[in-house]
Amino acid sequence: MLPTQPELTAASTATASPLFPFVLQLADTSLILAHRLSEWCGHGPVLEQDLALANIALDLLGEARSYYQYAAELEGQGRAEDDLAYLRPAVEYRNPLLVEQPNGDFAHTIVRQFLFDNFHYQLLKGLKDGPDARLASIAEKSLKEAAYHLKWSSEWMIRLGDGTPESRRRLDKAIATLWRFAGELTTPTATETQLQELGLVPDYAALRPAVQAHTAHVLAEATVPEPAPPFAQLGGKSGRHSEHLGYLLAELQYLQRTYPGLTW
Amino acid sequence: MVTASALPPTEARIWQLLEEVSDPEVPVLSILDLGIVRAVAVAGEHVTVTITPTYSGCPAMSAIATDIRLRLLAEGYTQLIIKNQISPAWTTDWMSAAGRAKLEEYGIAPPIDGTATGHILNLFGQDTAVRCPLCKSAHTHLVSQFGSTACKALYQCDDCREPFDYFKCHA
């Protein structure tokens, strides 16, 4: 049993619906990763993979919007989806550290995506069968898309690992840098633990075997030895972020901060 | 210009008008061909159209909602609600036979039912055999699962060498 993460602030999550902070966390996670992937647009190694990165970014952005709309309703304080995405400071963001990590090279982006997709796919399967109808319907929709994402990132892990000495060198370096962030995905915060006890959020311990089995399968195909489980770097889901998130939000939120209330 | 409609709306009339609204990204398809209109409800002057997105991030959804609104306004129907519904999730099974034929004629290979990505462990598995919409050859290969829009994959024909879009099966 892994320890739960302490919360940085409790005030912003005090709300009528216990689901609000969790749905917001899902929204932040998909939004931040979508933004990172969108930074590749026009810079992909080849046209087809540039398109793939942008497609995945778009799917995640759509998923984030569904969560933000639901979160805004759960909060019931008159904030709308755009207020939640564009007008909260970095310490209020609840995405895990993994998704805010910079793109690096293509191998770096692939490892980050693989770690996320592998967990995301299993999480959506759990949410789809969960008791909250709204979350289940969002998960049902996104699961179909997440299957394509996981297939794509898994195949690229294998190509890079079992490719050339150069691709292997880059993949190894990315694994050494990013593997430490995987543990946060399946380590529940106090909020998540509480919701898991209520049966509203899938038990991460129950998701872990499927996540680990797929990782083992992909690494074996990639001829990459499985890294020893590193120290899990926690913090993002409790609001303790790396320096990267602030820079990311500065760009993501620029327009609303500069021209408050601007709409298309 | 908005003109007063001579007749109150009926469900049949609304369905007829929706047939004239095309998908902004695949203009040969009407939104009915695509299967994204889930329901039409008429109560007096009030018309409610329920649509469902193909993909979560589909940027065409707001354009489609606007196009529906404009088409119905042009007929003098002003009490309109366009509802978005994500469950049950859209599937290519809802695409009409006429829509599939129009797609192929347009140069996009229509979805082949039962080929959705269900087995994620089937990495580098056999690509779905898709017929080239131009020369009709079955000798084609997948270039990328992700194409020019979220709903399409990129293929190339090995006989006529033409690259083409395949409308992914999404079940």
Q: Using CA atoms of A203, A208, A209, A213 in order, give the dihedral in degrees to the nearest 10.
A: 150
Write down the pLDDT at residue B118: 55
Indicate the SS3 state at residue B74. helix
Give yes or no for A94 touching B (CB within 8 A): no
Q: Is the dihedral of CA A102, A106, A110, A111 positive or negative?
A: negative
pLDDT for A76-112, tens place per residue? 999 999 999 999 999 999 999 999 999 999 999 999 9
Label residue A84 exposed, middle or buried (CB < 10 Å: 0-12, 13-18, 19+): buried
pLDDT for B13-31, tens place per residue? 999 999 999 988 888 899 9
pLDDT for A20-44, tens place per residue? 999 999 999 999 999 999 999 999 9
**B79 contacts: CB under 8 Å, gap ≥ 6:** B44, B45, B46, B47
Name which of B57, B124, B170 is nearest A62 (Cβ-Cβ): B57
Residue of A144, A159, A160, A211 to mutate for B, most B C-beta atoms under 10 A: A144
Residue A225 has pLDDT above 60, yes or no: yes
Give the predicted TM-score (pTM) of the model.
0.89
Stretch A248-252: mean pLDDT: 97
The reply to whether residue A151 touches residue B55, judged by beta carbons under 8 angstroms, is no
Give the pLDDT band (50/70/90) at residue B148.
confident
Higher pLDDT, B92 or A195: A195
Tokens 């692939």 belong to residue: A110
Q: Are A64 and A24 in contact (CB under 8 A)?
A: no
Neighbouring C-alpha atoms within 13 Å toward the C-beta of A253:
19
Give the pLDDT band (50/70/90) at residue B93.
confident
Neighbouring C-alpha atoms within 13 Å toward the C-beta of B52:
21
Residue A11 has pLDDT above 50, yes or no: no
Q: Are B157 and B132 in contact (CB under 8 A)?
A: yes
Q: Give A-chain residues touching B38 at CB under 8 angstroms.
A: none
> What DSSP element (H or E) covers A118?
helix A106-128
Residue of B51, B91, B119, B120 to mutate for A, most A C-beta atoms under 10 A: B120
The reply to whether residue A154 touches residue B120, judged by beta carbons under 8 angstroms, is yes
In chain A, DSSP assigns E strands to none
pLDDT for B44-74, tens place per residue? 999 999 999 888 777 788 899 999 999 999 9
- Parallel, antiparallel or unpaired: strands B108-109 and B163-167: parallel
Point out which residues pair with B46 in neighbouring strands: B43, B79
Helix boundaries (H) for A129-164: 133-161
Compute CA distances B77 → A235, B40, B72, whole Å. 53, 14, 5
Q: Is the N-terminal amide bond of A6 cis, ω within 30° of 0?
A: no
**B20 contacts: CB under 8 Å, gap ≥ 6:** B30, B71
Give the pLDDT band (50/70/90) at residue B166.
very high
Higher pLDDT, A125 or A3: A125
Q: What is the DSSP letter of B77?
A: -
The reply to whether residue B86 touches residue A158, judged by beta carbons under 8 angstroms, is no
Give the pLDDT band (50/70/90) at residue A186.
very high
Point out which residues pair with B80 in neighbouring strands: B47
Name which of B86, B124, B144 is nearest A51 (Cβ-Cβ): B144
Write down the pLDDT at residue A20: 96
Residue A151 has pLDDT above 50, yes or no: yes
Give the pLDDT band (50/70/90) at residue B117.
low
Give the pLDDT band (50/70/90) at residue A10.
very low
Stretch B85-91: mean pLDDT: 85
Stretch B150-167: mean pLDDT: 92
Cβ under 8 Å to B: A residues 23-82: 48-49, 51-52, 54-56, 58-63, 65-66
- Tell me the pLDDT of chain B averaged across its residues: 87
Q: Which residue of B has its CA nearest to A215?
A: B121
Give the pLDDT band (50/70/90) at residue A4.
low
Neighbouring C-alpha atoms within 13 Å toward the C-beta of B20:
11
Name which of A133, A152, A217 is nearest B145 (Cβ-Cβ): A152
Cβ-Cβ contacts under 8 Å between A and B: the total is 88
